[in-house]
Every structure is written in structure tokens, then in C-alpha cells.
């Protein structure tokens, strides 16, 4: 190092400095590094397509601007052109609609078939356990009795717990419902024996409140919404 030459930030040792005409990386970038092929687990094109499909853009909707995903804007434009009578747009839109409805139908049919098979197989198994006196095995979750199949409508739904956590929660609801029903019975007895109008009104309000709670619990256990 020459006398008087400082080494510090922005001043590397003289031997480590770049020299005119000498690249910083003599070996250069590995061939093809910039355009490296994705690994087997990577799907870059799918990621790019999805990024573009759900990138939001601003489009004109009547007399105002709205922000929508690119995919929605494209489908909307296609539908509008089809409605205007463009044959190519009509054909493409019809194909998209048909494929979408077929996919939804396939998912629905698969769910219905699975639900029916599950219910039938477990009913057979539970009947076998009853016949053989087997009582030390846990009941299935969901229970086949909680699977409601409507063949006329082609629907299947579960109205009971599907997991251990849901069953524990349901058991707590059942216990609370029993408590409220007992409370209603006691309040009803008190109401029959009470003669003072003010106390009768209070007891009637308490009974109505307890019955409302029972209705809410019944709705939660059946999976049906309860309106207050």
C-alpha cells in the first residue's frame, strides 16, 4: 500500500480494486442462467396466468369506473360481444358456460354419491354392531343419522357434528338445552301458582326468554338459522 493511501468505505485495498479492461467476474455468468428452466416442482406459466387473471384493472361500467379482476373484465367483455351477436363470441361463451356447468355438476354428483355411500355403509356397520352386541367402538363422525339425503332434489347435507370438536360443542349445547327446559318447567309451575299480576308478567317474560334460548340451541344443533 502506498504511503498516504487510506483504506475504508469506498476505498478498498489497491490490490482488490477493479482495473480498466478487467471484468469483475472473469468467468462470466453461467450459460443460460438468465433463462433458467424452472425446476420440476415449479409451474411458472400457471403462476403468471393466475397473477394476470386476478390482477385488478379499472373498466368503464355505465357512467362510472369500477375496479375488477382481469378475468371478470374479459368474461364480461366476451358476454357483451356475444349478446351483440358476434358469432365467435357466442360460440366461445357457450362453450365456457357449458364446461363450467358440467364441472359444477360433476362436483355435485360426486358429493351426492359419496354422501349416499357413507350413509348406507355406516348404517350397515352400526346394525352389525347392534346385532353382535358391540358397544366399545366409537360412533362415526358424522353419524349416518345426521346425513340428510333428498333424492327428489338431489341434495345431501349434514345436520350434526363432523369432528370431535364439533361433537363436544354439540354435547354442551344439549346439556344447556336440558337445563333451560328444566328451568321452563319450574317457571311454568311458579306461574300457575302466582296470583300477583306483576310477578306473573316477570315469570312469563322469563319463560319466553328461556324458550327463545332453547330455539336458538335447536337451530344450532340442526344447522338451521334461527331468527330472533
Question: Which runs of E-coded beta strand occur in 45-103?
Answer: 56-61, 64-69
Mean pLDDT of 188-215: 91
DSSP letter assigned to residue 136: S
Question: In the chain, what are the helix, strand and coil shares in percent, each to the nearest 5?
Answer: 60, 10, 30
Give the mean pLDDT of 168-191.
90
Is residue 2 pLDDT above 60, yes or no? Answer: no
pTM, two decimals, is 0.55
Q: Is 1:7 a contact under the CB 8 Å cutoff?
A: yes
**Ramachandran angles phi, psi of 210, nearest 5°:** -65, -40
- The predicted pLDDT at position 205 comes to 92
Rounded to whole angstroms, the maximal C-alpha distance in the chain is: 113
At 26 the pLDDT is 60
Percent over 90 (pLDDT), the chain? 54
What is the pLDDT, as a whole number, of residue 5? 53
CA dihedral sign, ordered 131, 132, 138, 142: negative
CA–CA distance, 93 with 79 (Å, rounded to integer): 7
For residue range 134-156, what is the model confidence (pLDDT) as tens digits?
A: 999 999 999 999 899 998 899 99
Q: What is the pLDDT of residue 9?
A: 52
pLDDT one-digit tens code per residue, 16-55: 565 666 655 666 555 555 566 666 666 788 889 999 999 9
For residue 89, pLDDT over 90 is answered with: yes
Q: Name the pLDDT band for 159 (thresholds 50, 70, 90).
A: confident
C-alpha distances in angstroms, 137 versus 28, 121, 175?
Answer: 69, 16, 23
Identify the H or E element spanning 208. Answer: helix 197-222
* Structure confidence at residue 149 (pLDDT): 92
b/e per residue 73-84 (b: at least 16 CB within 10 A): beeeebeebbee
**Helices 70-83 and 44-53 meet at what angle, rounded to 10?**
70
Reported as a single tens digit per residue, the pLDDT across 112-133 is 999 999 999 999 999 999 999 9
- Closest by alpha carbon to 114, among 158, 167, 159? 158
Q: pLDDT at position 228, please?
A: 46
Instruction: Give the separation between CA 141 and CA 167, rounded to whole angstroms.
Output: 8
pLDDT band, residue 226 (cuts 50/70/90): very low
Bridge-based pairing state of the strands 147-150 and 64-69:
unpaired
Q: Per residue in 50-83, pLDDT tens?
A: 999 999 999 988 889 999 999 999 999 999 999 9
Q: State the average pLDDT over residues 103-113.
A: 93
Amino acid at each position: 500500500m502506498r504511503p498516504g493511501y487510506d483504506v475504508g468505505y469506498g476505498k478498498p485495498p489497491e490490490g482488490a480494486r477493479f482495473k480498466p479492461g478487467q471484468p469483475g467476474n472473469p468467468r462470466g455468468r453461467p450459460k443460460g442462467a438468465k433463462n433458467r428452466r424452472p425446476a420440476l416442482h415449479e409451474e411458472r406459466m400457471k403462476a403468471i396466468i393466475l397473477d394476470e387473471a386476478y390482477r385488478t384493472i379499472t373498466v368503464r361500467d355505465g357512467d362510472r369506473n369500477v375496479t375488477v379482476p382481469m378475468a371478470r373484465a374479459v368474461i364480461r367483455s366476451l358476454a357483451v360481444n356475444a349478446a351483440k351477436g358476434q358469432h365467435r363470441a357466442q360460440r366461445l361463451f357457450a362453450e365456457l358456460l357449458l364446461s363450467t356447468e358440467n364441472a359444477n355438476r360433476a362436483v355435485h354428483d360426486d358429493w351426492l354419491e359419496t354422501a349416499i355411500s357413507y350413509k348406507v355403509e355406516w348404517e350397515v356397520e352400526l346394525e352389525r354392531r347392534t346385532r353382535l352386541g358391540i358397544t366399545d367402538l366409537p360412533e362415526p363422525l358424522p353419524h349416518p343419522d345426521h346425513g340428510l339425503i333428498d333424492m327428489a332434489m338431489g341434495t345431501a347435507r349434514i345436520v350434526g357434528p363432523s369432528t370431535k370438536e364439533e361433537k363436544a360443542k354439540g354435547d354442551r349445547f344439549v346439556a344447556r338445552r336440558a337445563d333451560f327446559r328444566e328451568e321452563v318447567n319450574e317457571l311454568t309451575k311458579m306461574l300457575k301458582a302466582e296470583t300477583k299480576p306483576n310477578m306473573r308478567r316477570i315469570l312469563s317474560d322469563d319463560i319466553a326468554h328461556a324458550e327463545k334460548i332453547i330455539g336458538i340451541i335447536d337451530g344450532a344443533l340442526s344447522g338451521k338459522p334461527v331468527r330472533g
